[in-house]
Structure formats: structure tokens, C-alpha cells
Amino acid sequence: MFDFIINNAQAQSAPAQGGNGSFLIMMVIFFVIFYFMLMRPQMKQAKEHKKLIEGMTRGDEVITGGGLLGKITNVGENFIALEIAAGTEIRVQKNSVTTLLPKGTIKSL
């Protein structure tokens, strides 16, 4: 009765082994695509933002990540003072600045 099941089980061969070389090649291709589509653009953007932060000076007009538009009145090590209205200054972190505007933009608004 069970001879049929045992014979079939013994008759089955082991599954064919895939080539390890093709798996390695696929992993390398995946990493290269990952690098060029995600890592490289992100590193480039971070480098540009760092250059923007280091180049800020008094009198520059900027936009922060929260949408505040102001003129830099004081630059510290980690913080800057922004004049957002006549006589109104706030302090924000340097890293929150996202855009450097051309001079005179605030007056034109």
C-alpha cells in the first residue's frame, strides 16, 4: 500500500541548483541601479544644501522650510536671525533655510 508513495519519493530527484554567479551579477546590478537612482542624487543635493548654508551672509534674503520669508540680520554658528517684518526678528536654525533668493525680492512683494 505504501510502496507506491515510497517509490515515488525515491524517484524524485533533487531540485536543480541555480548558478551562484548569476545571483551575484543580479545583486551587483541592483546595487548599481540603487546607487545611481537614490544615493547619488541625494548626496548631490546634500552637498548643494551644505554649500548654501555655509555661504549665507548678513543681508541675504531666504526662505525657510516652514515657508518664512526674511532677510538675514545676524549669522551665528548654528542659528541665524531673520527679519520677517519691519522691527520683527526671529531666530531659526541654519539648516531650516531651503532657498536663497535674489536681492530685492522682499521689496518686490
pLDDT tens-digit readout, 30-73? 999 999 999 999 999 999 999 999 999 999 999 999 999 999 99
* pLDDT at 12 (0 to 100): 56
Share of the chain above pLDDT 90, in %: 75
> Has this prediction a pTM greater than 0.75?
no
Q: In this structure, what CATH number is given to the domain that contains residue 78?
A: 2.30.30.60
Mapped onto helix, strand or coil, the DSSP state of residue 15 is coil
Residues 107 and 75 in one domain: yes
Residues 45 and 65 in one domain: no
Residue 3 belongs to some domain of the structure: no
Residue 62 belongs to some domain of the structure: yes
Count of C-beta atoms within a 10 Å radius of residue 82: 23
Query: What is the rounded distance in angstroms from the CA atom of residue 91 to the CA atom of residue 41?
Result: 30
Cell triple for 55: 555661504
- Residue 75: phi and psi, rounded to 5, are -115, 120
What is the total count of domains within the chain? 2
Residue 9 belongs to some domain of the structure: no
Task: Return the H-helix or E-strand segment holding 74.
Answer: strand 69-75
Residue 6 belongs to some domain of the structure: no
Residues 44 and 65 in one domain: no
